Amino acid sequence: MITLIQKYEQKLYKANLVSPGHAMVGALDDECIWNQAHEKLSDLNKILSALPINALIFANPKQPYAQIINHLAAHNPSEICPQDTESKTFLHSLPVIQNWDCEAIIHGLSYRKGVIILNQGIIASGAMTPEQAFVVYSSICFACFVAYFSEHLQKAFDNQLSIAEMNITDSLLNQCPKIPDQMPDLAKGPFLSEDDIYAAITEVGKQTVQYGLVDSYFGNVSYYMNDTLFITQTASSLDELTGCIDPCPLDGSSCVAITASSEFSAHKQIVQSGKYKAILHGHPRFSVVISMFCKERYTCPNRMRCHTHCSKRQMINSIPIIPGEVGCGPHGLIHTLPNAFLESDTAIVYGHGVFTVGESDFMTAFERLALTEIMCHDAYINWIHNPGNIT
């Protein structure tokens, strides 16, 4: 158990979510086991033992996350309600506690996966494993990042962003991790064997996480060969895909797809068009922020249902921004995403993330994903300083 605990402690550091040495990661075995000592260890043991969970992470995140989260917590004293699609689905809301209070923390974790303690950090739970707690912790950081920058872009457009707020936002922008200029040297396709496909998917998954284009849990990858779609399994970490890729025959001769990504149906429709073999889906932060901005936020009859009911043709440069939710329902991505790829090689799904495609391998798909995020980052800086430039 201690090896598993230390693994996810290191993942917090590698993801630039927490400064090295500052994460408390614990789990229940025969007793509560922690990666290190801490002044609140007694309370953390109490919290871990009081709930039907097996793992816990407590840490104050690195900048810019710490300042972002404290800003939101100070202005939303009881709970933060992120509006991006994954957070609304996975986290729902984030209880906020103004001071360290063990009973209040236990209460918050009794109905939500994580809580925020003002100026002290995040406590994230895992029902079974430290991995689940890590996913919750990273998801809270992502949700708050998107919520903060979305809020301030809207305020700039509404001419309500003060000079002081602009200066703080500029400071936070300067602290955001940058995507490296050099693209990774990925395997060249087309891939003609299953082993080559597994290796290529595993490789691009690791690079997508390393470049900060997805948190390790959310996102998916697929490759099409001989009427079979090789796709990452649902809930798989993109930087640990060995054994987590399903070969799914598209003729319906196998039920393997039952464990495949929840976006399998949309991937299937895209590759069956015959133009693309590779699909890459990530959650780059500024792409999600930009996708959620709307000049008609307060007047549109579909407001609050943007992720499923947006009826306007939204674009950022030549990239479509489309609605759609996971699955095959009436508002599922299966109805909107394949159509987007009839006119573009990249699509941004409202509040959700970016899908890109490659004709024969993942090199072009990866470059399109990275360049989309760079474009959206630059557009954000331009728009927040010059809201009249918003197209």
DSSP assignment of 184-242 equals: P-PPPS---SHHHHHHHHHHHHHHHHHTTSS-SSS-EEEEEETTEEEEEBTT--TT--T
Q: What is the mean pLDDT of residues 115-134?
A: 96
pLDDT tens readout for residues 144-183: 999 999 999 999 999 999 999 999 999 999 999 889 889 9
Per CATH, 2-175 and 194-389 having the same topology is answered yes
Does domain 2-175 fall into CATH 3.40.225.10?
A: yes
**What is the per-residue DSSP string for 103-164?**
HHHHHHHHHSSEEEETTTEEEEEESS-HHHHHHHHHHHHHHHHHHHHHHHHHHHHTT---HH
pLDDT-based confidence at residue 298 (cuts at 50, 70, 90): low
pLDDT-based confidence at residue 315 (cuts at 50, 70, 90): confident
Helices H, strands E: what count in the chain? 13, 15
Q: What is the mean pLDDT of residues 320-335?
A: 82
Nearest Cα residue to 2 out of 39, 244, 10 = 10
Q: What was the pLDDT predicted at 273? A: 86
Q: What was the pLDDT predicted at 390? A: 80
Q: What was the pLDDT predicted at 221? A: 96
Nearest Cα residue to 17 out of 64, 57, 56, 55 = 64
Run of H or E including 385: helix 362-385
Q: Would you say the pTM of this structure is higher than 0.85? A: yes
DSSP state of 301: T
pLDDT tens readout for residues 248-259: 999 876 666 666
Q: What is the mean pLDDT of residues 362-383?
A: 96
pLDDT tens readout for residues 41-57: 999 999 999 999 999 99
Architecture of domain 194-389: 3-Layer(aba) Sandwich (3.40)
Rounded to 5 degrees, φ, ψ at 195 are -60, -40
The token duo for 142 is 């992502």
Q: What was the pLDDT predicted at 334? A: 86
Distance (Å, rounded) from C-alpha 170 to C-alpha 179? 18
DSSP state of 312: S
Domain ranges of the chain: 2-175, 194-389
pLDDT tens readout for residues 272-281: 988 999 999 9
Would you call 321 helix, strand, or coil by DSSP?
strand
Contacts by 78-84, CB closer than 8 A, 24 or more apart: 80/116, 80/143, 80/144, 80/147, 82/143, 82/144, 82/146, 82/147, 83/147, 83/150, 83/292, 83/351, 84/142, 84/143, 84/146, 84/147, 84/288, 84/292, 84/351, 84/352
Cα angle vertex 204, ends 191, 25, to 5°?
145
pLDDT-based confidence at residue 302 (cuts at 50, 70, 90): low
Instruction: Give percent helix, percent strand, percent coil of the chain, each to the nearest 5.
Output: 45, 20, 40
pLDDT tens readout for residues 175-220: 998 898 899 999 999 999 999 999 999 999 999 999 999 976 788 9
The residue type of 328 is C
Rounded to 5 degrees, φ, ψ at 97 are -120, 125
pLDDT-based confidence at residue 307 (cuts at 50, 70, 90): low
